[in-house]
Structure 1
Amino acid sequence: MNLRLTRRGLLAGVLAATTVSACSSAPGAAPAPTISFDPPGDAPLAVWELTGGLSAPGTAALRPPRLVVYGDGEAIADATYRSRLDPDQLRGLATTLADDLRANAAEKKPTGTPSILDAPVTKLTVWSASGTLTCSAEGLDELKPDHWYPAALYDARDRLATVHKAVSATAQPYLATRVRVVAVPALEGTAGGVAVGTPVAALPSASSAAAWPLGIALPSPDNEGLRRADLDGDAARAAVRMLTRDLDQRGAWPTYRLQDGTVLRASWRYLLPNE
């Protein structure tokens, strides 16, 4: 018997409509259990991501999900490493995540969240045949010592963190044909720019910056000066070859000079199948 699950394969998973700090089901999702799940296209089975928190616009625009698990068992951590779950691991993850989120829904929720400066929002998403369930919790990790959120929500997060650790440990690189390039003004401070208080003599200049590769087109900047481009084909290959990647996501972006003299800091990452 062929046990291989395709990205649109059979999965065991049960979800119910519920709320947690912010939890929602897709419209029409039924609370009744289901025994199969067929995600559309390249839609993932489970996603763990962090949004918000202390980060510059450039860093936030480039930040990938912490972990994405697809229906065929493909698991990608930080858009950097990949591995594959076997069918039993995949079914077990889907089932336990669903159990955690159902249990979380049944517990009494906090009436408000303490204000934690610059704390990110943890977002967990799981798909089922009856719809999707997404839970968002601000400062989930920061508030764990105080047991602010239900234990089941921490269990769900920890299950995905365990998979993330295992995928990262394989050090098998994730590669793709499409990339995202993000560039920000070099003098706007914080990650992706220059830290506030940097001596004027240490600021990047047009003369010290490398010329921007001609084969990589960037769109016009938005109101914050951010430029973002999702590239494919020759442009994507040029970005991989000519631009430095911020592999550890610490905001150490190199400096480039556009033809008009504008100085930018830029980096890139591979896009996920569902992006």
Structure 2
Amino acid sequence: MNRRSLLLAAGAVGVTTAVGGAAAAIAADDPEAGRKSRPMLTWELTGGFVPAGWSALRAPRLVAYDDGVLIADAQKRLRVGAGEIRSLRNHATTVLRDPANAHRRQGAPMIADVPSTVFTARTNGRKFSLQFEGLEETRRDRAYPAAAYSLLDHCAQLRDRVNRSGAGFHPDAVRAIVVLLDAAQPTTATVPPWPAGVPVPRFRKDEFVTQLDLRDRQARALMRAVPRPEQPQWPVFKLPDGRRAQLNWRFLLPHE
């Protein structure tokens, strides 16, 4: 990533730190209640000190759907029984409906630049969500109530199971993340043109990070041009206007 991207990420971290220590609880009517592919539970990481573009590229660690499908990291999928989905829903709802479970213990140490964990559960037309700053990193210090770590363990066990035993998740739908490079930044390699068949991204004034959700033919064109790279390696392409941009992508989830 270029220096400008890193500076933007640093600014974003300050905002996350300011609000992450408080319980970010939601208990309200679920606006997605009528959607066919709505997730029953999501486990996500947000914020932390990451370069620009990484937050959009970072897929939820686990998504569970009402039909029993679990998807881990937007890479593996596994269908489980109704009993396991019911157990997960009941556990998550019990923890997340109580905002006290996201209150840090007084005197618990703060860890800078770590991401926040966000759990969201949906049941009976209602949505419950809590945010925990540095949940995994503060386990040894017991910064949060035991219920929070219990839900983390439950979700982590399911995620490990999906990644270990699940099938590959490869839909014809991707999220492309595009980051403009500074014009003055040197390059030693020949920069290829923007991939054919992939829409050219548009950037608003002073914007240098954007994303494109692509499906079907456009998604396949991107995947041909950029075979799934290792995430630290963001290929560079030349836009039609001559600017250079870094590009990466991940698979879109059914509800996105």
The TM-score bracket by the shorter chain reads 0.7 to 0.9
Q: Does 1:57 align with 2:52?
A: yes
Q: Distance in 2 between matches of 1:113 and 1:146?
A: 7
Deviation at 1:104, TM superposition (A): 7.0
| Structure 1 residues 228 and 109: CA distance shift in structure 2, 3 A | closer
Q: Distance in 2 between matches of 1:204 and 1:165?
A: 40
Q: Distance in 1 between matches of 2:126 and 2:169?
A: 28
Are 1:104 and 1:152, in contact at CA under 8 Å, matched by a contact in 2? no
Q: Does 1:46 align with 2:41?
A: yes
Q: Which residue of 1 aligns with 2:250?
A: 269
Deviation at 1:254, TM superposition (A): 1.4
Q: Which residue of 2 aligns with 1:126?
A: 121
| Structure 1 residues 258 and 130: CA distance shift in structure 2, 3 A | closer
Q: Which residue of 1 aligns with 2:10?
A: none
Deviation at 1:27, TM superposition (A): 4.6
Of residues 146, 149, 163 in structure 2, which corresponds to 1:151? Answer: 146
Unaligned runs of 5+ in 2: 1-21
Q: Which residue of 2 aligns with 1:3?
A: none
Unaligned runs of 5+ in 1: 1-19, 29-37, 189-199
Give TM-score scaled by structure 1 length.
Answer: 0.75
| Structure 1 residues 211 and 105: CA distance shift in structure 2, 3 A | same
Structure 2 counterpart of 1:83, one-letter code: L
Q: Which residue of 2 aligns with 1:209?
A: 191
| Structure 1 residues 122 and 159: CA distance shift in structure 2, 3 A | same
Q: Bigger CA drift: 56-65 or 103-112?
A: 103-112
Q: Which residue of 2 aligns with 1:21?
A: 23
Aligned length, in residue pairs: 231
Q: Distance in 1 between matches of 2:246 and 2:237?
A: 6
Q: Distance in 1 between matches of 2:157 and 2:53?
A: 28
| Structure 1 residues 242 and 119: CA distance shift in structure 2, 3 A | same
Deviations 1:39-84 (A, max 9, x none): 6421101100000001122111221111100000111111111111
| Structure 1 residues 169 and 187: CA distance shift in structure 2, 3 A | farther
Q: Does 1:92 align with 2:75?
A: no
SS at match of 1:182: strand
Q: Bigger CA drift: 261-270 or 159-168?
A: 261-270
Q: How does 1:1-275 map to 2 (within 5 A)?
A: 21-27=23-29, 40-101=35-96, 105=100, 110=105, 114-170=109-165, 172-187=167-182, 203-204=186-187, 208-222=190-204, 223-246=206-229, 249=231, 251-275=232-256
Q: Distance in 2 between matches of 1:232 and 1:210?
A: 23
Task: Say which structure is richer in helix.
Answer: 2
Q: Distance in 2 between matches of 1:246 and 1:104?
A: 40
Q: Distance in 1 between matches of 2:141 and 2:217?
A: 51
| Structure 1 residues 104 and 152: CA distance shift in structure 2, 3 A | farther
Q: Distance in 1 between matches of 2:242 and 2:102?
A: 57
Deviation at 1:246, TM superposition (A): 3.7
Are 1:74 and 1:85, in contact at CA under 8 Å, matched by a contact in 2? yes
| Structure 1 residues 108 and 140: CA distance shift in structure 2, 3 A | closer
What fraction of aligned residue pairs are identical, expressed as a percent? 34
Q: Which residue of 1 aligns with 2:15?
A: none
Deviation at 1:113, TM superposition (A): 7.0
Deviation at 1:245, TM superposition (A): 2.4
Structure 1 counterpart of 2:82, one-letter code: P
